[in-house]
């Protein structure tokens, strides 16, 4: 690291690619963003080689060398604490139990590295792209599962003592199936939020609804695989199909129940909803359904100020998303920590 090092790199390590970005001391993006293959299944050394190559390209783009990097933020697709990965996910076995944060720092000549998980990085990214926002930020992102992250006012992610906080998909929600049962979650528990609000949950719900006699003639009952039916359900919802609307409305309301509990605990001020629904044509309607559920469970003071009804105490926004916020989020965190 040279004395004139004044840039901060963000490295968003995914299962397939690493997205990387460089920011300067002001937090502005410097040069072009760079994407390289992650090679995470070949062990962390292979990925480190890719990270070095990305750092060379990032700094080379602005006529500098890797020495210009003063600090690094990195996120990994697995639970981790103090630089050590705890769970394997898509990674090769040698990532687990290794302090990859310190090893990377050593390999790069002592450049400090901040490491977090991908949910926190996504929340940090949504914070970073809202330059004028200075409160907290809670991200909930329905995808295959239901991910989340919390940024505290000031811009640091809340990770808990062991890096295990914000497993928002596995809080329980006060809702039951029509037969009184609680749905099983991928984690082994019953009644988790993720068992209602995720792609996996959507497939289950579509299967249950299409099996009902009153839906026998629904166009989705065409023998196609359930994955495809769940995917096509969005198009049906966009066209106002009753069944699709019913399913997404229930999902949105239950997400609202979960958010109400999270807001009661964290009072983030801003709730950002991520995941693929942000790109649908019915997202405004979906947000209304989330608000229906939220209002059912949250006290009025979590909606607007008790002394100034015009001031919202909890605002809802869609994720600005795109491919790069996580890389930007960890770059910003590195800048906060190491400048
Ligand atoms: Zn669960």
CA of 93 to the centre of ligand 1 (A): 24
Strand ranges inside the chain, DSSP E: 7-13, 17-23, 34-37, 69-76, 80-81, 84-85, 113-117, 137-142, 146-151, 270-273, 315-318
CA of 183 to the centre of ligand 1 (A): 10
Whole-angstrom distance, CA of residue 228 vs CA of residue 92: 30
Q: Is the pLDDT of residue 1 over 60?
A: no
Asked if 255 and 192 count as a contact pair (C-beta separation under 8 A), the reply is: no
pLDDT digits (tens, 9 = 90+) for 187-236: 999 999 999 999 999 999 999 999 999 999 999 999 999 999 999 999 99
pTM over 0.85: yes
- What percent of the chain has pLDDT above 90? 83
Q: Answer whether 7-130+323-338 and 137-318 agree in fold.
A: yes
Longest Cα–Cα distance of the chain, Å, equals 73
CA of 188 to the centre of ligand 1 (A): 6
Whole-angstrom distance, CA of residue 253 vs CA of residue 262: 14
Residue 167 is predicted with a pLDDT of 92
pLDDT digits (tens, 9 = 90+) for 4-54: 789 999 999 998 999 999 999 998 999 999 999 999 999 999 999 999 999
CA of 169 to the centre of ligand 1 (A): 6
CA of 192 to the centre of ligand 1 (A): 5
CA of 326 to the centre of ligand 1 (A): 24
Q: How confident is the model at residue 323 (pLDDT cuts 50, 70, 90)?
A: confident
Q: In what helix (H) or strand (E) does residue 79 lie, and over which residues does it extend?
A: none
pLDDT digits (tens, 9 = 90+) for 160-192: 998 889 999 999 999 999 999 999 998 999 999
CA of 186 to the centre of ligand 1 (A): 6
| Closest-CA residue to 75 (of 150, 19, 138) | 19
Q: What is the 3-state secondary structure (H, E, C) of 19-39?
A: EEEEECCCCCECCCCEEEECC
Strand ranges inside 67-161, DSSP E: 69-76, 80-81, 84-85, 113-117, 137-142, 146-151
Asked if 138 and 119 count as a contact pair (C-beta separation under 8 A), the reply is: no
CA of 59 to the centre of ligand 1 (A): 42
Q: Which residues surround ligand 1, an ion (CB under 5 A)?
A: 170, 185, 187, 189, 192
Cα atoms in the 13 Å half-sphere on the side-chain side of 57? 16
pLDDT digits (tens, 9 = 90+) for 56-70: 999 999 999 999 999
Angle between helices 283-297 and 242-266 (to 10 degrees): 50
CATH number of 7-130+323-338: 3.30.420.40
Q: Is the pLDDT of residue 321 over 90?
A: no
Q: How confident is the model at residue 3 (pLDDT cuts 50, 70, 90)?
A: low
pLDDT digits (tens, 9 = 90+) for 69-90: 999 999 998 888 899 998 766 7
Residues 6+ apart with CB under 8 A from 149: 119, 120, 121, 122, 123, 124, 138, 139, 157, 166
Can you tell me whether residue 243 is helix, strand or coil? helix
Cβ neighbour number for residue 235 with a 10 Å cutoff: 13
Cα atoms in the 13 Å half-sphere on the side-chain side of 149? 26
CATH superfamily of 137-318: ATPase, nucleotide binding domain (3.30.420.40)
CA of 15 to the centre of ligand 1 (A): 22
User: Per-residue b/e over 286-298, b at no fewer than 16 CB within 10 Å?
Assistant: bbebbbebbeebb
Domain ranges for the chain, please list them: 7-130+323-338, 137-318
The average confidence (pLDDT) of the chain is 93
CA of 36 to the centre of ligand 1 (A): 33
Residue 163 vs residues 80, 81, 159, 160: alpha-carbon distances, Å = 6, 5, 5, 5
């Amino acid at each position: 690291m040279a004395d004139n090092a004044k840039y901060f790199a963000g490295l968003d390590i995914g299962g397939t690619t690493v997205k990387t970005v460089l920011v300067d001391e002001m937090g502005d993006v410097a040069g072009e963003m760079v994407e390289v293959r992650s090679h995470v299944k070949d062990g962390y050394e292979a990925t480190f080689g890719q990270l070095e190559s990305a750092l060379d390209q990032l700094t080379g783009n602005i006529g500098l060398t890797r020495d210009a990097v003063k600090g690094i933020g990195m996120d990994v697709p697995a639970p981790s604490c103090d630089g050590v990965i705890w769970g394997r996910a898509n990674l090769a076995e040698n990532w687990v139990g290794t302090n990859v944060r310190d090893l990377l720092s050593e390999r790069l000549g002592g450049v400090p590295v901040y490491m977090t998980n991908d949910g926190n990085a996504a929340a940090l990214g949504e914070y970073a792209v809202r330059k004028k926002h200075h409160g907290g930020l809670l991200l909930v992102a329905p995808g295959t599962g239901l991910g989340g992250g919390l940024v505290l006012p000031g811009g640091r992610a809340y990770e808990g003592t062991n890096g295990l906080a914000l497993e928002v998909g596995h809080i329980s929600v006060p809702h039951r199936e029509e037969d009184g049962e609680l749905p099983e979650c991928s984690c082994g528990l019953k009644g988790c939020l993720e068992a209602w609000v995720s792609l996996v949950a959507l497939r289950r719900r579509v299967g249950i609804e299409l099996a009902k006699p009153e839906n026998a003639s629904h166009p989705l009952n065409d023998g196609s695989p359930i994955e495809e039916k769940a995917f096509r359900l969005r198009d049906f919802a966009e066209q106002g199909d009753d069944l699709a609307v019913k399913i997404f409305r229930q999902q949105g309301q239950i997400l609202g129940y979960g958010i109400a509990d999270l807001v009661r605990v964290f009072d983030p001020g801003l709730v950002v909803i991520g995941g693929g629904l942000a790109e649908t044509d019915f997202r405004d309607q979906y947000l209304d359904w989330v608000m229906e559920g939220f209002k059912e469970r949250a006290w009025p003071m979590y909606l607007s100020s008790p002394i100034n009804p015009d001031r919202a105490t909890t605002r809802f926004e869609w994720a600005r998303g795109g491919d790069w916020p996580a890389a930007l989020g960890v770059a910003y965190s590195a800048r906060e920590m190491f400048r």
